[in-house]
Structure 1
Amino acid sequence: MRLQSIYKSDINRDINGVIKVAQDDEQSIVQELSEYIITRELRRHFNTFLNHYERSLEQPTDKIGVWISGFFGSGKSHFLKMLSYLLANKTVGGKKAVQYFSDKFDDPMMFAQLENCVKVPTETILFNIDSKSPLTKDKTAILRVFAKVFYEHQGFYGNDLKVAKLEQFIAKSGKTEQFRECFERINGGTWEESRDSFAFFEDDIVEAMSEALDMSETASRNWFNGEEEIELSIEQLVKEIREYIDSKGRDYRLMFMIDEVGQYIGSDSDLMLNLQTIVEEIGTKCGGRVWVMVTSQEAIDSITKISGDDFSKIQGRFNTRLSLSSSSVDEVIKKRILAKTDTAEQVLSLQYEKNNQVLKNLFTFNNAVLDLKGYSGEGEFIETYPFVPYQFRLMQNVLAEIRKHGNSGKHLSGGERSMLSGFQEAAQAIQDRDEYALVPFYLFYDTVHTFLESSI
C-alpha cells in the first residue's frame, strides 16, 4: 500500500505551517478555525483563561494581563490568534467564530463558558510588536506602539501623533466627513491616501481646516507649523482608551493582543518597565474592561533580568500565565497530518505485530537521554508512523538552535519552516514508498536548509 493513501486528509494539501498574526484573509481564517486542534494541554489553558476572564465580566478587576509563553513552534501565536477570533466573534465563512469550536471541547460546560464569554461585545487589536515598532527603540517604544495601534483601530493615522490628534479633534467635533470632503475637493486626492505625506500639502490642509472647522487661516497655519513635539504620557493614553470604551457602552470590552513581546523587550529593563506601567494603569483605570495579552518565547521568569522588587511587580501585573510546552506540537501533528484511515490502521497494526522486536532493537540507545525513545506500543506506532517518536523532540531542538545561532533566525516571520510544515514535507518525500518505509532524520534537512546561513 502506498504511503500517500494511508492518511485521512490529503498529505499534499496546502497547510499554513507558520501562523502569522498579520495574515487575516477570510480563507486563512476559515482554515485556521476549522483545523485548530485543542490538545489536552490547550484545554487546560483555555480553562484557566476563561475562568479569569468570566470573573472579570461579573466584577471589576485590575488583573488584566495574560502572559503566554512557549518555545518556538509551541503554538502560542496560534493560541493568541484563536482567542482574538473567538472573543471578537466575527462572522467568518458564513458562521460565527465560536461555532467552529462547538465540537472541539470534550466538555460541554467549557463550551458553554466560552459562549458566555463571547456574548459580550468585544473588539480585539491583534498585532506583532516588531512590525508596529517605531524606528527609534527608546524606553517609551512600547507606549508608542500602544498609541499607534489604538489610533489605527479608530481609523486615525497612527504613524504620526500630530495627524492622529488632529483627526481625533475633528472626529470629536463630528466633522470628519465634512473635513474629508473639503480636502478631497481642494486636493484632488483622498485624505486617507494623502495623510502619510501631509507635510507636502500645507495649503490644502490649512484651507480644508479653515472651511470645515471654522478656524481662521492663521490658527490653521499655526497648528500646521507648530514645532512643539506632541508628547504622550501613559496616563493620557489610558484616559483616551477609557473614554473610548465608555462611549461604546457599559459591557464593551477591548483587547490588546501582542505577539512576540519577549523577543522585542530582550533584556531591556526600560521596555519591561514601560510595559508594566501601561498594564498597571490600564488595570486600575479600566476595571477589567480592557485586557493586555502578550506572547513570549520565554516564561516571564527568564525574561526579566531585573532585580527583586521590580520583578515581582511585573509578575503581579500578568496574573494569568500560560506556558505552552512542546508536547502539544506532537499531538497537533498527529491529528492534523498523520491521522490514518481505518484500512491503514489495520495494515499498520499487522505490521507492528510482525516487526515489533525489530523496531525495539532499532530504537534502543545506549546511555539514552530520556526523551529520545522509540515506539512504546502498537497505538503509538500507528499514530506516529512513518515517523519515530523521538524525532518530534529532536526536530524542535534543532529549530530552536537554528534560531539561536543564525541572524536571520531571530525574526523569521515569513521564511521560517515550522514543525508542522517540516513533518508534512518529510512525509511527502516518501509518499510513493510502501508501508515498510520510515522517515530518516536527514529528510528534515531539506525543510530547513533554505534558511540556514552559509556560516552554519
Structure 2
Amino acid sequence: MKVKELFKFPIERKIESVVKVNDEDAEKVRQEMEEYVVTNALEIHYDNILEKILDSKEQPTRDIGVWLSGFFGSGKSLFMKNLSYILEGKKIGSKTASEIFLTKLENSMTKANLSTINGSMKIRPILFEIKSQEDQMNPDSIVEILYRQFNKSFGFSEQVWIAELEKELIDANKYEEFKNEIKKETNMEWIDFRTKTLRLKPVLYKTLKNIYPGVYDTDEKIKESIASFEKISLTPEKFAEKIKEFVDKNLSAKEKLIFFIDEMGMFVGDNSEKLLELQSIVENVGVKSNGKIWIVVTAQEKLDEVIEGVKRKKVEFAKISDRFNMRITLTSENIDMVVKERILKKKDSAIKELTDKYHKIAGKINNDINFRDWARAKLIPKLDDKSFVETYPFLPYQLKVIPEIFNNIRSKGAGYTKLSGRERSMLGAV
C-alpha cells in the first residue's frame, strides 16, 4: 500500500489555513465539522458554555458575555463557528452540525446538555467577523455594526434608517402593501430596490403617499418623517432596548439570540473608547434581556490583558469583567492529537499493515532513536506499535520537535510572526 493510501482522509486535500466564520461554503463547512478534533480540554470548554446557556433557560441572568481568547492559530475562530452551528442545529449535508459533533464527544453530560438545548430551546445565531463589517462612515462604532448585523439577520436593510422604516410598516400592518406598491412602481422586489440609493427616496415618497393617503399628503411631510428615521442615534442603551423589544415581539419563550463576534479584541486594540462602548453594550444587553440575548466574542488576548493595554484607569472597566464572567483561553497542548486525528489518521486496513511492519523493524528503529544522553532520551516519547501507527510516516518525537522548531524560527522576528507551534502551522507543515 502506498503511503498516500494509508490515510482515512485524502492526504492531498486542501486544508484552509485561516478559518473565516462567515464562509458558509457547503464543502468547507462539512470538512471543518467532520475533521474537527475535540480534545478533552475543548470538550470541557464547550460543556461549560452549554451548561451556562442551559441554566439561563430557567434562571434569568445578566451575565451574558463569553470572552474567548487564544493566539493566532489556536483555533478560537473555528471553536466559535462550531459552537454557533451546534447551538443552532445547522444543517450540514444530510446531518445537523449537532449530530456530527455528538460523535466527537466523550462526556455523557456534555452530550446530554447539547441534546437538551437542541430539543427544548431554539438558538438564533448572528455570526460575523467584526472588522469586515465596519462602517466607513463611522468606523469606530461597535453598536452600529451589531445593529446592522441584527437587522440583516432578520431580513431588514443594513441601513439603519431603512430598517426602522420597515419595522414601523410591519407594526402598522402595511409592509406587504408597501412591498407590492414598490414592485408596481419599479418592477423590482423591495429587498433589491432598497439598495438603489439614487432612486430610493423619490419612489419612497410616492409609495408612502399611496399607502397612507390621509397622513402623507405632501412630499414635505414624507421628507420630515424620513429625516426623523435618518436622525436616529444609537447608544448602547438604545441598542439594547431596540433588540430586546424586537426579540420580545418576535421570538418565542424558548428562543435565544446570540451574537458571535470574531476578532473583537483586534477591533478594540488599545482604543479605550471602543472598550468602554463594548462594556456598555454588554452591560445594557445583560440588564435588559436577562439571558434572552447573549454576546460571545473572540480575541487574541485575555480580557485582563486588553484592559491592561488601554490607556485608562482599570476602575472604569470593572463592569466588563463582571459581564464577561465566562472567559475561555484556548491553548495548543494537544497539537499532536489534532495532527494524528486530522492528518495522519489511518484506514482500518492500514492499521494492520503498519502494525505488522512495526513488529518487523521494532528492534532497529528503537535502537536508532535510543539516545545515550539521558537528558535528551527522556524527551523522546515512547515508541510502540500503537504510536508507530498513529504517527507514521513520522515518528512520535518528530511531532514534539516540529512545534519547537517553529517557535524558535518565529522568535527571530520579522517575516515569521505568523509561524507558530500551534495547530494551524502544524497542519500546514505536515
TM-score tier (shorter)? 0.7 to 0.9
Does the CA contact (< 8 Å) of 2:244 and 2:289 recur in 1?
Answer: yes
- Describe the shift of the 1:45–1:277 C-alpha distance in structure 2 as closer, same or farther (beyond 3 A): same
Name the CA distance, whole Å, in 2 between partners of 1:101 and 1:41: 15
Partner of 1:172: 171
- Describe the shift of the 1:397–1:135 C-alpha distance in structure 2 as closer, same or farther (beyond 3 A): farther
Of residues 242, 245, 257, the one that matches 1:243 is: 245
Does the CA contact (< 8 Å) of 1:121 and 1:252 recur in 2?
Answer: yes
Partner of 1:308: 314
Task: Give the letter for the 1:168 counterpart.
Answer: K
Name the CA distance, whole Å, in 2 between partners of 1:35 and 1:381: 21
- Describe the shift of the 1:356–1:136 C-alpha distance in structure 2 as closer, same or farther (beyond 3 A): farther
Task: Give the letter for the 1:334 counterpart.
Answer: K
Partner of 2:299: 296
Name the CA distance, whole Å, in 2 between partners of 1:332 and 1:191: 48
- Describe the shift of the 1:359–1:273 C-alpha distance in structure 2 as closer, same or farther (beyond 3 A): same
Does the CA contact (< 8 Å) of 2:134 and 2:145 recur in 1?
Answer: yes
TM-score (norm 1): 0.81
Deviations 1:19-65 (A, max 9, x none): 21111133333333322221111011112212222211111011111
Name the CA distance, whole Å, in 2 between partners of 1:244 and 1:301: 33
TM-score (norm 2): 0.86
SS at match of 1:201: helix
Measure how far apart 1:243 and its partner are.
1.5
Partner of 2:258: 255
Partner of 1:123: 124
Does the CA contact (< 8 Å) of 2:73 and 2:425 recur in 1?
Answer: no
Measure how far apart 1:237 and its partner are.
1.4
Measure how far apart 1:224 and its partner are.
4.5
Name the CA distance, whole Å, in 1 between partners of 2:183 and 2:270: 47
Name the CA distance, whole Å, in 1 between partners of 2:428 and 2:328: 30
Q: Which moved more, 1:47-56 or 1:216-225?
A: 216-225
Percent same amino acid among aligned pairs? 30
- Describe the shift of the 1:172–1:232 C-alpha distance in structure 2 as closer, same or farther (beyond 3 A): same
Measure how far apart 1:205 and its partner are.
1.7
Partner of 2:273: 270
Partner of 2:330: 324
Task: Give the letter for the 1:54 counterpart.
Answer: L
Partner of 1:25: 25
Q: Does 1:384 align with 2:387?
A: no
SS at match of 1:127: strand
Deviations 1:221-244 (A, max 9, x none): 333466963311222211121112
SS at match of 2:195: helix
Name the CA distance, whole Å, in 1 between partners of 2:400 and 2:429: 15
- Describe the shift of the 1:186–1:136 C-alpha distance in structure 2 as closer, same or farther (beyond 3 A): closer
Q: Does 1:355 align with 2:355?
A: no
Name the CA distance, whole Å, in 2 between partners of 1:330 and 1:314: 36
Task: Give the letter for the 1:317 counterpart.
Answer: R
Instruction: Let me know the Cα RMSD of the aligned residues.
Output: 3.1
Structure 1 stretches of 5 or more lacking a match? 411-415, 428-456
Aligned residues: 414
Please give the residue correspondences for 1:98-177 in structure 2 after superposition, counting only pairs within 5 Å: 98-119=98-119, 120-136=121-137, 139=140, 141-158=141-158, 160-177=159-176
Task: Give the letter for the 1:221 counterpart.
Answer: K
Please give the residue correspondences for 1:50-129 in structure 2 after superposition, counting only pairs within 5 Å: 50-119=50-119, 120-129=121-130
Does the CA contact (< 8 Å) of 1:206 and 1:224 recur in 2?
Answer: no
Name the CA distance, whole Å, in 2 between partners of 1:3 and 1:28: 25
- Describe the shift of the 1:226–1:235 C-alpha distance in structure 2 as closer, same or farther (beyond 3 A): closer
SS at match of 1:196: coil
Name the CA distance, whole Å, in 1 between partners of 2:339 and 2:373: 21
Partner of 2:10: 10
Partner of 1:447: none
Of residues 233, 236, 243, the one that matches 1:234 is: 236
Name the CA distance, whole Å, in 2 between partners of 1:227 and 1:282: 23
Partner of 2:222: 220
Measure how far apart 1:396 and its partner are.
5.7
Does the CA contact (< 8 Å) of 1:11 and 1:424 recur in 2?
Answer: no
Deviations 1:417-447 (A, max 9, x none): 99667555655xxxxxxxxxxxxxxxxxxxx
Task: Give the letter for the 1:249 counterpart.
Answer: S
SS at match of 2:334: helix
Measure how far apart 1:173 and its partner are.
1.8
SS at match of 1:327: coil
- Describe the shift of the 1:257–1:424 C-alpha distance in structure 2 as closer, same or farther (beyond 3 A): closer
Does the CA contact (< 8 Å) of 2:403 and 2:421 recur in 1?
Answer: no
Structure 2 stretches of 5 or more lacking a match? none
Name the CA distance, whole Å, in 2 between partners of 1:384 and 1:339: 8
Q: Does 1:207 align with 2:217?
A: no
Name the CA distance, whole Å, in 2 between partners of 1:286 and 1:61: 8
- Describe the shift of the 1:278–1:227 C-alpha distance in structure 2 as closer, same or farther (beyond 3 A): closer
Deviations 1:146-194 (A, max 9, x none): 1111111121111x22222212222222222221221122123332223
Measure how far apart 1:68 and its partner are.
0.8
Of residues 334, 338, 343, the one that matches 2:344 is: 338
Name the CA distance, whole Å, in 1 between partners of 2:8 and 2:172: 59
SS at match of 2:233: coil
Name the CA distance, whole Å, in 2 between partners of 1:198 and 1:189: 14
Please give the residue correspondences for 1:433-444 in structure 2 after superposition, counting only pairs within 5 Å: none
Does the CA contact (< 8 Å) of 2:283 and 2:319 recur in 1?
Answer: no
SS at match of 2:105: coil
Q: Which moved more, 1:330-339 or 1:186-195?
A: 186-195
Does the CA contact (< 8 Å) of 2:165 and 2:229 recur in 1?
Answer: no
- Describe the shift of the 1:89–1:72 C-alpha distance in structure 2 as closer, same or farther (beyond 3 A): same
Partner of 1:192: 191
- Describe the shift of the 1:65–1:225 C-alpha distance in structure 2 as closer, same or farther (beyond 3 A): closer
SS at match of 2:68: strand
Name the CA distance, whole Å, in 2 between partners of 1:360 and 1:73: 33
